[in-house]
Amino acid sequence: MPADRLDPWNLSGLQALLAPLDHQAQVEHVSDIDSTNTELMRRARAGDTRTCLLLADAQSAGRGRLGRQWHSRPGDALLMSLGVTLSPQSWSGLSLAVGCCLADALDPTLDKGIGLKWPNDLMLTPWDKPRKLGGILIETVLRQGDTAADRFAVIGIGLNLAAPPAADYRTEPAGLRSVLAPETTVTELLHLLLPALVSGLQRFCVQGFAAFATEFAQRDVLTGRELQLSNGVHGTGAGVDAEGVLWLHTPGGRVPVSSDEVSVRAAGAA
């Protein structure tokens, strides 16, 4: 069902797309909010763990990994959070699996150069000038009485359609309109991505990240690159294993990286 003037987001259509996860899923749209992730986490901590897709035109305090700010102009970025209870066998690699779902929906034949950077970024290659298209922020709440594997997860996604205004970015931003149709709207982008996200979450809960490992490897922009970790360790990216752990070839041997922030430096840089 197409969107119309009174319902430009086609909220009922989005509810239908969420039905495989939860037939009673809610879809909400707000023009402005501090952060869609923050709002759903507030609700969850207060006991409201109903499945909800929260969309915003603008965020005043949008967050990325490690609390970094996310900047965008209304209509130039998809800003959303999906809150849903999941019961995977293992939570390891969920952000990587979500990245695979998004990238495969956007670039199914790998010809648009959409890559993935561990642990949560979508990138536009080539690597000699990597640009960030967006990121994923996942937060969870263990509900009273639930097992450790059964949690309410808030999956935040921010994707640029157009490169955001200049700011103090660690990596130059890019917009999806440069590789998709120039007139692509946020609504069209969401209706493209949501079915892939829903089916991917179902797949992850049954098979874990191992089901996505090959797909991730095809888009992994860190393999073979010189990497610098925030703890001072440096080495060459050696790929991601079936648990979503990044491995590094270092002078002292092959080491796993499960939670450190990874920053990338050019080969031979000081």
Give the start-to-end residue ranges of the domains of the chain: 11-219, 226-264
Spatial separation of the C-alpha atoms in residues 56 and 6, rounded to whole Å: 17
- Taking only Cα atoms into account, the Rg of the chain, rounded to an integer number of angstroms, comes to 18
pLDDT tens-digit profile of 105-125? 999 999 999 999 999 999 998
Spatial separation of the C-alpha atoms in residues 244 and 258, rounded to whole Å: 8
Which of 149, 20, 152 lies closest to 92 in space, CA to CA? Answer: 149
Binned at pLDDT 50, 70 and 90, residue 66 comes out as very low
* Over residues 206-223, mean pLDDT: 96
pLDDT value at 7 more than 90: no
* Over residues 46-51, mean pLDDT: 94
The pair of structure tokens assigned to 173 is 């931003």
Instruction: Report the mean per-residue pLDDT for the chain.
Output: 88
pLDDT value at 69 more than 50: yes
Instruction: Find out whether 37 and 154 touch, Cβ atoms under 8 Å.
Output: yes
- pLDDT for the residue 130: 80
- pLDDT for the residue 57: 93
- pLDDT for the residue 126: 82
pLDDT tens-digit profile of 155-170? 999 999 998 876 666 7
pLDDT value at 75 more than 60: yes
Top-confidence residue, 129 or 207: 207
Top-confidence residue, 5 or 194: 194
pLDDT value at 185 more than 50: yes
pLDDT tens-digit profile of 19-47? 999 999 999 999 999 999 999 999 999 99
What is the pTM assigned to this prediction?
A: 0.90
Top-confidence residue, 5 or 99: 99
- pLDDT for the residue 259: 74
Percent of the chain with pLDDT over 70: 86
Instruction: Find out whether 164 and 71 touch, Cβ atoms under 8 Å.
Output: yes
At the second CATH level, the architecture of 11-219 is 2-Layer Sandwich (3.30)
